[in-house]
């Protein structure tokens, strides 16, 4: 596996791949790999002749008082893990190389970014779409794999690709969970043992909501019933500050009034005002 840090170098490498008729896959990450990341790499490895994983803690998607300075980072650790998954190139540029002093352009997707995580993290998705657009231009992938845990992010990137005619297939990978049910996240490393029960209230709320819906398959179920049920699971934990509990259409992200096959339960909760966790699940079916 080759470590590349220069944007100019990665462009030349990927041009060569393309000219050689090779299928290029990309897995964009911010590092501190866990089995969720590695699962994305495994999926991409099956489809790609050449697999690139980017590792870049993107400063412009972090807001004031967020965890940019403390975000977990260990290049050598991640390098070993990526090599073990058969990655061809680990692209790990420096911040200055990605955002020189005169950098002044932003990619912005309207509407989809106005609510859910976008409501409490203004500018976050502009940072995400800007860096992803840069990564697509640098690595020239035929396809890119993203995890479905960040479902709003996935929807925003898909819209950006459609709207701006990027020749990139966007592939979603299902959420990977710990044995406990907790959705895997690099930020889980922040959790103290005393906070774990509160963190697990998200997945427990999802499980209870899915059970509630499955037991009432012949009934009309209102989204408010599901939201209230999940709120009752999470709110008793004093460590939890609920950002949102919503039921949305899994394509448009618009709020649902009634539960259908396209209804997605989405959650965001802060633990002790330190750790922001998100989770989601379709409410009907697998």
Kindly list the domain boundaries of the chain, sorted by start residue. 2-173, 186-279
> What is the residue-wise DSSP string for 10-26?
HHHHHHHHHHTT--EEE
CATH number of the domain at 186-279, please? Answer: 3.30.1300.10
Three-state DSSP at 223 gives: helix
Q: State the average pLDDT over residues 7-22.
A: 98
- Cα 130 from Cα 99, distance rounded (Å): 11
**What pTM, to 2 d.p., does this model score?**
0.96
Q: How many CB atoms lie within 10 A of CB 181?
A: 14
Residues 6+ apart with CB under 8 A from 204: 181, 233
In the predicted structure, residue 286 carries a pLDDT above the cut 80: no
* Percent of the chain predicted with pLDDT > 90: 98
Catalytically active residues are 37
- CB–CB of 213/221 below 8 Å? yes
Per-residue pLDDT tens over the stretch 58-82: 999 999 989 999 999 999 999 999 9
- Tell me the CATH class for 2-173: alpha beta
Per-residue pLDDT tens over the stretch 240-252: 999 999 999 999 9
Say which residue the tokens 């993107």 belong to. Answer: 58
* Percent of the chain predicted with pLDDT > 70: 100
**Per-residue pLDDT at 269:** 98
**Per-residue pLDDT at 285:** 79
In the predicted structure, residue 145 carries a pLDDT above the cut 80: yes
In the predicted structure, residue 217 carries a pLDDT above the cut 90: no
């Amino acid at each position: 596996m080759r470590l590349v840090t220069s944007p100019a170098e990665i462009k030349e490498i990927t041009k060569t791949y393309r000219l050689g008729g090779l299928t290029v896959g990309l897995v964009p990450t911010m590092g501190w790999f866990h089995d969720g990341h590695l699962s994305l790499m495994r999926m991409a490895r099956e489809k790609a002749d050449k697999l690139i994983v980017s590792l870049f803690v993107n400063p412009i998607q972090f807001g004031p008082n967020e965890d940019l300075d403390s975000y977990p980072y260990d290049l050598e650790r991640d390098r070993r893990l990526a090599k073990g998954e058969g990655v061809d190139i680990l692209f790990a540029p420096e911040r200055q190389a990605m955002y020189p002093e005169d950098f002044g352009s932003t990619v912005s997707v309207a509407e989809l970014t106005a609510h859910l995580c976008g409501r409490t993290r203004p500018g976050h998705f502009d940072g995400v779409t800007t860096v992803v657009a840069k990564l697509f231009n640098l690595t020239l992938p035929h396809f890119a794999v993203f995890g479905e845990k960040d479902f709003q992010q996935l929807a925003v990137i898909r819209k950006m690709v459609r709207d701006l005619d990027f020749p990139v297939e966007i592939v979603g990978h299902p959420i990977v969970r710990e044995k406990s049910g907790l959705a895997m996240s690099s930020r889980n490393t922040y959790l103290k043992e005393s906070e774990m029960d509160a963190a697990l209230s998200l997945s427990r709320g999802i499980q209870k909501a899915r059970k509630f819906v499955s037991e009432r398959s012949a009934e009309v179920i209102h989204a408010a019933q599901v939201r209230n049920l999940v709120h009752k699971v999470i709110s008793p934990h004093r460590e939890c500050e609920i950002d949102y509990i919503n039921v949305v259409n899994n394509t448009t992200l618009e709020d649902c009034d009634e539960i259908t096959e396209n209804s997605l339960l989405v959650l965001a909760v802060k633990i002790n005002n330190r750790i922001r966790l998100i989770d989601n699940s379709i409410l009907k079916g697998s």
